[in-house]
Structure 1
Amino acid sequence: MESAGKRSDSRSLFIAATPAQVFAAMSDPARVARWWGPDGFKNTIHQFDFRPGGSWLLTMHGPDGKDYPNESRFTRVAAGSIFEIEHLSGHHFIPTIELRPSGQGTHVHWRQTFDTVEEYERIAGFVTGANEQNLQRLATEVLLARDAA
């Protein structure tokens, strides 16, 4: 199998909040619905069984007016440190979000790994921007909740 680095999009973002505050935005389906996906997308979450092996069913509503049903399952969940799913519908990939405490905040590391280099390269132009926007939307959700507390 080809190395994960060649078939993955990886990014990192520092959020001025604790890992617990970031994880809270990743584990609450109402909050996930607000930040998941690239800019312009809205979400309807149908099922969110937040545990290893649990199902996650959602419909992403695109800015183009189209609906994008998604089916995933949680593969790794550790409070305050990791969130990983296997995306089962459409493109098959595994996004892993790791939280690492750092000074007055958290480094959020996002890696989306595809089955092959070819599959990744086919949609890399979209994925790279979408993942950056996803991280920015997560940061906005975390900071809004932190500031409201």
Structure 2
Amino acid sequence: MSDETFDLSISRIIDAPVAAVWRAYTEHTEEWFCPKPWRVEIVEWDLRPGGRSALVMHGPDGEVMPMEGVFLEIVPESLIVTTDAFRTGWVPQTAFMTAITEFIPQGDKTAYRATARHWTEEARAQHEAMGFETGWGTVAGQLEEVAKRLAAG
């Protein structure tokens, strides 16, 4: 069994340069992170290895979904890896996934790949049933809209 057995992934070519996609991802997170009409509240977004990633997603019917984790790896304009297996201070918590987001220059466009790596087949199946492909695909489109706006200046 390969390490990728429990992965779910989406890939898109975003019609904006890597610098704009990176800036949209890291500085305008609240504009794209959840499929609308959901919205996200950034509690802390400390983009460095070991930095805290704390967000709260709010649904249109009053749903509240807190998300807490840490950043594992940051390579500017290239890679962001985060996990919910730990909270700040490397304190273990029940893990659902590690998210791996890649930004690859393609001329004046960006190859964007977002992968959710799960610990178990059950977690992967749960995420897929929650609407992974549609949700993360919608989010990639929203990210592209923000990046295009930023690239246009």
Matches within 5 A, 1:1-149: 2-28=1-27, 31-88=28-85, 92-125=96-129, 126-147=131-152, 149=153
SS in 1 for 2:99: strand
Taking structure 1 as the reference length, what is the TM-score of the superposition?
0.89
Structure 1, residues 4-26: CA drift from partner, whole Å, max 9, x if none? 43211111111122111111112
Alpha-carbon distance in structure 2 between the residues aligned to 1:70 and 1:96: 16
Q: Which runs of 4+ in 1 moved over 6 A?
A: none
Conserved? CA contact 1:73–1:85, under 8 Å? yes
Alpha-carbon distance in structure 2 between the residues aligned to 1:36 and 1:51: 19
Identity %: 23
Alpha-carbon distance in structure 1 between the residues aligned to 2:127 and 2:102: 23
SS in 2 for 1:131: helix
CA RMSD of aligned residues (A): 1.6
Alpha-carbon distance in structure 2 between the residues aligned to 1:72 and 1:64: 25
Alpha-carbon distance in structure 2 between the residues aligned to 1:46 and 1:14: 30
Structure 2, gaps ≥5 residues long = 86-92
Taking structure 2 as the reference length, what is the TM-score of the superposition?
0.87
Alpha-carbon distance in structure 1 between the residues aligned to 2:63 and 2:74: 30
More helix by share: 1
Cα offset for 1:127?
1.5
Which segment drifts farther, 85-94 or 63-72? 85-94
Alpha-carbon distance in structure 2 between the residues aligned to 1:74 and 1:66: 25
Alpha-carbon distance in structure 1 between the residues aligned to 2:95 and 2:134: 17
SS in 2 for 1:83: strand
Alpha-carbon distance in structure 1 between the residues aligned to 2:132 and 2:95: 11
Structure 1, gaps ≥5 residues long = none
